[in-house]
Amino acid sequence: MLFRFHNLIISALFLLVSQLSADDTQAREIFVEAILAEGSEQTALVESLSTTASTLVPDFLEAWKRGDIFLLEADGSAAPTPLLEVEPEQEGGTPTYFRVIDGEEMAAGSFDPAALEMARPSRKTRRVFTMTIDLLALSTPNVQERADAALKLGLKRDDDILPKLILLRETETEPSVIEALNEGIAVSMLSHGTKEGQMDAIQLLRDENSIAGLDALKNLRHDLNDGLATHPFSEEELAKLTASIASIESYISWTDFVGTCFRGLSLGAVLLIVALGLAITFGLMGVINMAHGEMIAVGAYSAYISQTVFYSLFSESTFALETYFLFAIPFSFLTAALCGFILERTVIQFLYKRPLESLLATWGVSLILQQGFRLIFGAANRQVRSPSWLLGNVEIFDITFGFNRIFVIGFAILIVFGTWFLMAKTPMGLSIRAVMQDPQMAAAMGIRINRVRMMTFAFGSGLAGLAGVFLSQIGSVGSNLGQSYIVDSFMVVVAGGVGNIVGTVISALGIGVTDQALQPLLGPVMGRICVLVAIILFLQWKPGGLFPSKSRSLD
């Protein structure tokens, strides 16, 4: 299947060829020549393809290697015509043929397919295929691709390529590409350079913090120890090499550390959004909402629904994919808040005085919702696609920052700030806090406590819904999506100190980072177990959490 798909692309290339670019025309000519040539002449021609800057070259060479290029013998002494064979779409159909020189399709019956002879590249030519494709990348106009190709070629440590890289460095103007070339050349130099070249390379790799060069440096040291190196090193030089390795390694551990912190922060950010909702419903209102996890799922399914709606409204266009998410965010918040509102009115409002029982009743609700999701959306998980602007990443100092993670962190900051503002600075927040501390007194002061509780609970649930949108971008959406987060987020609230937003923030981030830091060491499951155990032990030391509540009541 994949194979045929590939051929389709090639045929598409050939069909589109009426208006060839100059590069492509040139490439085709050289290619035909190469097919017809022999021996070292063929090899040289293929190598020269790398300077054409034509995007067709890799496909041509691929096809040639695979044996899809055939020769149609011409009458008399004229040279044979090279043809490209494309597999038929249906099983058992006949293949179609295109002329390599201009991409025209050969009319069926105008020739005898049985008379075709496969064109085989010579063994030596075959060997330069990959290098040619690689070198070709060095002539693309795209700066990033060029830089990548330069580094990649250098890492091959091929003494055929090395002079070409050095040559290229002379003409290159783009600084980032020059840098990559330098790095690549330095790595190659380690194996093939003179002693001086090697020493320069060691220095340069160290200065550049070249992670890519680390292996080459280590190999060199290995070779030196085994006495296999081309030039023996003095003590001093060896020390320099070792220092260079150490410097790069410490750089790597630094980037690893920052990367771990970053991933931890983003995990913590999701946890934080979940836990913030809990901090409000559990911490402030004293309601243990076991259905909080299902509010997350409501949010995630809302994202799925908005995707479906956008797809059906705008067909499966890029526009729908790029914009549905912007709609999904408020939509998920509102649906989850609505569910929270209904839950509060029907169940929780009767249980404010019985916190343990609110735990049990909401667990019942959670079961109902989970099964409800299964009945509505099916037992299989649903996929929600991410808009392209969440998929990319930037690399700074060799650390990859995924846009989706950056987005979650940014959004969490926004939400935390918003919640803090709502609680601390608005009259609404004041009445919320009043109701939470002493409902009877608040009622006596003329606050409509039912309304405040209702809205607070809806708000907390809405936050869970928001968390659901982000989780839908990380994995698939299923009926027990929330279950895997609920235990963790309760622990976040407990460890942070119940009813304290700052505590929740700190403990969510702390737990997120610890989790990420432990995972590579212990594996995902043991990592989580360790985090849970650590929290239990932490509570030994600070039973009230990071920021214990200050109630003095006797029981």
Partner 1 sequence: MIKFSETQRSLAGIIAVTFFLVVAMPALNLFGSEGSFLHISDYQLNLWGKYLCYAVVAVSLNLLWGYTGLLCLGQGLFFALGGYAFGMHLMLMIGEQGAYKSALPDFMVFLGYKELPAHWIPFKSLSFSLLAVLFVPGIVAGVFGFLAFRARIKGVYFAIITQALTYAACLLFFQNSFTFGGNNGFTDFKTVLGNEIFAPSTQRALFFISAVYLSLCLFLIWWLTKTKFGKIQRAIRDSENRVRFSGYSTTTYKLIIFVVAAIMAGIAGALYVPQVGIINPEEMRPSKSLEIVVWVAVGGRATILGPVIGAIFVNWLKSYSTYHYPEYWLIILGALFVLVVLFMPNGIVGLPEQLKGFYRKHRFRFQQKKEAAAEA
Partner 2 sequence: MSTQEKAEAKKKEFILTCEGLNKSFDGFKVINDLNLYIDKGELRTIIGPNGAGKSTFLDLITGRIRPDSGTIEFGPGEGVALTKMREYQINRLGISRKFQTPSVYSDHTVYDNLLMSLNRNRGAFAALFYRESAADRERIDEILETIRMTEKRSLIAGSLSHGQKQWLEIGMLLAQEPKLLLVDEPAAGMTDEETERTGELLLSLAGSHSLIVIEHDMVFVRQIATKVTVLHQGSILREGTIDHVQSDPKVVEVYLGRQHEK
Query: In this complex, which beta carbon is closest to ligand ADP, that of residue 58 or of residue 548?
Result: 548
Q: How far is the CB of 551 from ligand ADP (least distance, A)?
A: 8
Q: How far is the CB of 419 from partner 1 (least distance, A)?
A: 22
From 231, 214, 234, select the one nearest 223 (Cα to Cα).
Answer: 231
**Angstrom distance (rounded) from CA 403 to CA 391:** 6
Which entry of ligand ADP, partner 2, partner 1, none binds 246, CB below 5 to 8 A by partner kind? Answer: none
From 510, 518, 257, select the one nearest 399 (Cα to Cα).
Answer: 257
Query: In this complex, which beta carbon is closest to partner 2, that of residue 304 or of residue 547?
Result: 547
Which entry of partner 2, ligand ADP, partner 1, none binds 494, CB below 5 to 8 A by partner kind? Answer: partner 1
Q: How far is the CB of 547 from ligand ADP (least distance, A)?
A: 13
Q: How far is the CB of 523 from partner 1 (least distance, A)?
A: 9
Residue 276 sits in the site that holds partner 1 (CB under 8 A):
no
Which tokens in the block code for residue 82? 């090279």
Instruction: For residue 99, give every residue at least 6 positions away whose Cβ sits within 8 Å of its Cβ, in sequence order, or none.
Output: 81, 82, 83, 84, 105, 106
Largest Cα–Cα distance in the chain? 110
**Angstrom distance (rounded) from CA 9 to CA 486:** 47
Which entry of partner 1, ligand ADP, partner 2, none binds 89, CB below 5 to 8 A by partner kind? Answer: none
3-state secondary structure of 96: strand
Residue 490 sits in the site that holds partner 1 (CB under 8 A):
yes
Query: In this complex, which beta carbon is closest to ligand ADP, that of residue 356 or of residue 554?
Result: 554
Q: How many other C-beta atoms can be found within 10 angstroms of the C-beta atom of residue 494?
A: 24
Q: How far is the CB of 240 from partner 2 (least distance, A)?
A: 56
Q: How far is the CB of 496 from ligand ADP (least distance, A)?
A: 18
Q: How far is the CB of 554 from partner 2 (least distance, A)?
A: 6
* 73 contacts 80 by C-beta, under 8 angstroms: yes
**Angstrom distance (rounded) from CA 425 to CA 422:** 6
Q: Which residues does residue 393 pair with via DSSP β-bridges, in sequence order? A: 402
Residue 521 sits in the site that holds partner 1 (CB under 8 A):
no
**Angstrom distance (rounded) from CA 215 to CA 217:** 5
Q: Which residues does residue 83 pair with via DSSP β-bridges, in sequence order? A: 70, 99
Which tokens in the block code for residue 224? 């030196």
Listing DSSP states for 23-90 in one string gives HHHHHHHHHHHHHH--HHHHHHHHHHGGGS--TTHHHHHHHHHHT-EEEEPPSTTSPPEEEEEE--SS
Which tokens in the block code for residue 247? 């410097």
Q: Is the dihedral of CA 265, 267, 268, 269 positive or negative?
A: positive
Residue 550 sits in the site that holds partner 2 (CB under 8 A):
yes
Residue list 522-541, contact with partner 1 (CB under 8 A): 525-526, 528-529, 532-533, 535-537, 539-540
Query: In this complex, which beta carbon is closest to ligand ADP, that of residue 123 or of residue 550?
Result: 550
Which entry of partner 1, partner 2, ligand ADP, none binds 355, CB below 5 to 8 A by partner kind? Answer: partner 1
489: number of CA atoms within 13 Å, CB side? 32
Query: In this complex, which beta carbon is closest to ligand ADP, that of residue 326 or of residue 441?
Result: 441
Q: How far is the CB of 267 from partner 1 (least distance, A)?
A: 17
Which tokens in the block code for residue 451? 């309304």
Site string for partner 2, 494-533 (x = CB under 8 A): ----------------------------------------
Helix (H), strand (E), coil (C) string for 409-469: HHHHHHHHHHHHHHHHHCHHHHHHHHHHHCHHHHHHCCCCHHHHHHHHHHHHHHHHHHHHH
**Angstrom distance (rounded) from CA 385 to CA 351:** 40
Site string for ligand ADP, 355-384 (x = CB under 6 A): ------------------------------
**Angstrom distance (rounded) from CA 491 to CA 223:** 52
Residue 123 sits in the site that holds ligand ADP (CB under 6 A):
no
Which entry of ligand ADP, partner 1, partner 2, none binds 491, CB below 5 to 8 A by partner kind? Answer: partner 1
Residue 554 sits in the site that holds partner 2 (CB under 8 A):
yes
At residue 14, what is the residue type? F
**Angstrom distance (rounded) from CA 423 to CA 99:** 73
Q: Which listed range, 124-132, 335-343, 497-505, 547-555, lies at the site for partner 2 (CB under 8 A)? A: 547-555
For 86, list phi and psi in degrees, rounded to 5: -120, 125
Q: Which residues does residue 96 pair with via DSSP β-bridges, in sequence order? A: 86
Q: How far is the CB of 493 from partner 1 (least distance, A)?
A: 8
* 479 contacts 374 by C-beta, under 8 angstroms: yes
Q: How far is the CB of 400 from partner 1 (least distance, A)?
A: 28
**Angstrom distance (rounded) from CA 484 to CA 495:** 18
Which entry of ligand ADP, partner 2, partner 1, none binds 16, CB below 5 to 8 A by partner kind? Answer: none
Query: In this complex, which beta carbon is closest to partner 2, that of residue 353 or of residue 550?
Result: 550
Residue list 327-386, contact with partner 1 (CB under 8 A): 347, 350-351, 354-357, 359-361, 363-368, 370-372, 375
Site string for partner 1, 116-155 (x = CB under 8 A): ----------------------------------------
Site string for partner 1, 432-471 (x = CB under 8 A): ----------------------------------------
Site string for ligand ADP, 516-555 (x = CB under 6 A): ----------------------------------x-x---
Q: Which residues does residue 399 pair with via DSSP β-bridges, in sequence order? A: 396
Residue 353 sits in the site that holds ligand ADP (CB under 6 A):
no
At residue 261's C-alpha, the angle toward residues 258 and 267, to 5°, is 145
* 466 contacts 333 by C-beta, under 8 angstroms: yes
Residues at the site binding partner 1, with contacts judged by CB under 8 A? 282, 286, 288, 290, 347, 350-351, 354-357, 359-361, 363-368, 370-372, 375, 487, 490-491, 494, 498, 525-526, 528-529, 532-533, 535-537, 539-540, 543, 554-555
Residues at the site binding ligand ADP, with contacts judged by CB under 6 A? 550, 552
Residues at the site binding partner 2, with contacts judged by CB under 8 A? 550, 554-555
